[in-house]
Structure 1
């Protein structure tokens, strides 16, 4: 028997390309936002990724 878990199944991190698609902006704009500090990104296994909470903040949903 499985328990229902709210918010389960969503990714914890997004690639810059996925974030650009979700935000509806150009990939270069994502990299620029990361570089100037408007969007937080972290390194995971040598890949640059954007935390899901940061992407929710950028979309105006706030972090949960």
Structure 2
């Protein structure tokens, strides 16, 4: 699934830490750090950490996790 398909799906779509890292071009540990410090929101879905696409879009539009 491409970034465009994620965006078109709306805010009810969630990404894994690995997918988020790939889209943002950062390491998985950097995504985990961004979650811990509150730069990215994460929720538990089926006992896994998931990041809403809307948060990833916000970061891509101008936020920074680097």
Please state which band the TM-score falls in when normalised by the shorter chain: 0.7 to 0.9
Higher relative contact order, chain-length normalized (CA < 8 Å, sep 6+): 2
Q: What is the number of equivalent residue pairs in this alignment?
A: 54
Structure 2: unaligned runs, 5 residues or longer = 1-7
The two structures have a TM-score, normalised by structure 1, of 0.76
Q: Which aligned runs of 4 or more in structure 1 are off by greater than 2 angstroms?
A: none
Root-mean-square deviation (CA, aligned residues, Å) is: 1.9
The two structures have a TM-score, normalised by structure 2, of 0.74
Instruction: Give 1 or 2 for the bigger CA radius of gyration.
Output: 1
Which structure's residues are more often helix, by fraction? 2
